[in-house]
Amino acid sequence: MKFVSIIIGSKSDYEVMKECGKTLEKFGVPYELIISSAHRSPERTKNYIKDAEKRGAVVFIAAAGMAAHLAGAVAATTIKPVIGVPMSSSDLRGEDALLSTVMMPAGMPVATLAIGKAGAINSAYLAMQILAIDDDELNVKLTEDRIAKAKKVETDSSEIEVRL
């Protein structure tokens, strides 16, 4: 079975990253979520990635704060797509994590998203877009979601519009 793997660097990341899981659940996309650290448990991280690949992980989402090397550690271990979500867990409000996640060397790509909740939700959407390349049912669900979002803008506007 194909699934999305979410790896968070510490338990403190869960409150934000549970939004990623909720988004995947909304579309019926299987996922698993674990805590593993690039620094504190590098062997656990590496072993998990290899095991998850064997079991059907298609996309990895890695969320971490501060030095945020988790996404890079995942990218170093797999050729599957890796999506990084910087967490706002330091005095720098996530800017350090953003730079650590986005500044990968050539040939080791990590798709880096926004800091925090928006990044968590968008990581689910990006993972689903990757899965939808060869999943017509998911493609339809994502298309319908996009149409619903556009209609909501029109509805919201009609409730407050002032036109000449």
Q: Any idea what DSSP says for residue 80?
A: S
40 is in an annotated binding site: yes
- What does the pLDDT look like over 70-98, one tens digit per residue? 999 999 999 999 999 999 876 788 888 88
**Tally of residues, the chain:** 164
123 is in an annotated binding site: no
* Residue 64, token pair as written in the block: 């971490």
* Domain-embedded: residue 106: yes
Residues 6 or more apart in contact with residue 111 via CB below 8 angstroms: 81, 82, 83, 84, 126
DSSP 2-40: -EEEEEESSGGGHHHHHHHHHHHHHTT--EEEEE--TTT
* Domain-embedded: residue 112: yes
145 is in an annotated binding site: no
Which residues face 61 on adjacent strands? 6, 83
Q: How confident is the model at residue 6 (pLDDT cuts 50, 70, 90)?
A: very high
CATH number of the domain where residue 123 is located: 3.40.50.1970
* Domain-embedded: residue 52: yes
Provide the domain count of the chain: 1
Q: Say what the pTM is.
A: 0.94
- What does the pLDDT look like over 20-67, one tens digit per residue? 999 999 999 999 999 999 999 999 999 999 999 999 999 999 999 887
